Chain A
């Protein structure tokens, strides 16, 4: 629902038309989650259906403006006031892949892990290059709100990639420890599990 509330937040600053909303959304979130104009209009028509926005005239070029309704404003407030639910995280493909890699015979889990680590690190390097530029933009005199917003979004992706790398390093250590366990202990544990 993030696009929905993102658009409501932009409209809270005054009426806007679809293309404007797309541009402003992207200037705050960079190219992290590109929006197409189709998505914007689909979302606007749903917001209108739910009574959260209403059409508010056209300009000379035929752009249809939308404005937030009182109900929309309340919805936006409650969005800002409510934490994002993290209690049931979405399925993660990498976690599933590693879970399978350590249990399916004939798969080298360490190789799967190392390949992912190299890939994630390369992605983190690319994010860091973007971040170096964003940092410079924020420090320039006259830096605007969207510059800061973009830096925050980049930071989030950097921290997420870092968390994944920390987790992968942790997995590697666990795999090494597991492999180093005496064979008898392994057999006993597995026997226990079967009972």
Chain B
């Protein structure tokens, strides 16, 4: 183990660029007496390989945080940076490109295109990226195999269970160069054990280097994350979980092909 330890030391000292960075982000709706602070001065970094869960009572700003991180809404002040690009500084067209190429979304109701098979649903964003249908299809097959549902490739959404559809949605969110998945209550429509299988897939994707931010109101589901942050009245009030050094360390070792990163919760497949 001496070689990986040396590498670990090196990685500890090397800053890893976050996939998502929120700096003093605020979002204000309305003005004057009707002013509502949906989010106030939120700082959050999500590194490659990191799975962050966001919890808080309804109205605490969870969904606002997710829409701002995904470039679906603009911050009133502060910076939202995805893969090194500050979303507020981009043209509409450039922002659309970042949304399409860097960010994947997973919603409670799966949002698969009903007329397309699982493989076609996953291939769709890659075809929009300009890939040939054939290559996109090959990538989609590989993505399905990677999360252990290769046999579902030719099924249509209404031929799959909720848990299967959600796993397809995760594969679609992370196809190609996408490394950031934003998930809004992804297990909300699923029973307990199916929800667990979906979280295991998300966990495994993060262990393989993706970054995820998941909004959930279930502690049991949030506990699959590396870090859990709590929002209240638009502010981050506290957080739990190991120091982020560990997550970056794990990815660092993974990148170097070391074996030190294998002992994680994602070893479920």
Interface residues of A (CB under 8 A from B): 114-115, 117-119, 121-122, 124-125, 127-129, 132-133, 135-136, 158-159, 161-162, 165-166, 169, 172-173
Cα A122 to Cα B230 in complex, Å, equals: 13
Q: Which of A124, A132, A166 has the most CB of B within 10 A?
A: A132
CB distance from B91 to the nearest CB of A (A): 40
Structural contact, B200 and A135, CB atoms closer than 8 A:
yes
Residues facing A in B30-63 (CB within 8 A) are 57
Chain B: CB-nearest residue to A129: B265
Specify which chain B residues have a CB less than 8 angstroms from the CB of A173 in the assembled complex: 57
Structural contact, A121 and B241, CB atoms closer than 8 A:
yes
CB distance from A170 to the nearest CB of B (A): 10
Structural contact, B223 and A128, CB atoms closer than 8 A:
yes
Q: Quick one: given A132-B266, A169-B57, are A159 and B232 in contact (CB under 8 Å)?
A: no
Cα A108 to Cα B203 in complex, Å, equals: 36
Known: A121-B223, A125-B240, A132-B265. 18 other contacts (CB 8 A): A114-B238, A117-B230, A119-B240, A121-B241, A122-B241, A125-B223, A125-B224, A125-B241, A128-B223, A128-B265, A132-B268, A135-B200, A135-B268, A136-B267, A136-B268, A161-B223, A162-B218, A162-B220
Structural contact, B241 and A135, CB atoms closer than 8 A:
no
Number of interface residues of B (CB under 8 A): 27
Q: Per a CB cutoff under 8 Å, which of B220, B228, B240, B241 touches A159?
A: B220
Structural contact, A166 and B239, CB atoms closer than 8 A:
no
Chain A: CB-nearest residue to B197: A135
Jot down 9 A-B pairs with beta carbons below 8 A, ordered by A.
A114-B230, A121-B241, A122-B240, A125-B228, A125-B241, A133-B267, A135-B268, A136-B267, A162-B223
Cα A172 to Cα B218 in complex, Å, equals: 16
| Binary flags per residue of B95-137, CB closer than 8 Å to A gives 1, else 0 | 0000000000000000000000000000000000000000000
CB distance from B75 to the nearest CB of A (A): 26
Cα A144 to Cα B96 in complex, Å, equals: 51
Structural contact, A118 and B265, CB atoms closer than 8 A:
no
Specify which chain B residues have a CB less than 8 angstroms from the CB of A129 in the assembled complex: 264-265
Specify which chain B residues have a CB less than 8 angstroms from the CB of A122 in the assembled complex: 240-242
Q: Per a CB cutoff under 8 Å, which of A135, A136, A166 touches B219?
A: A166
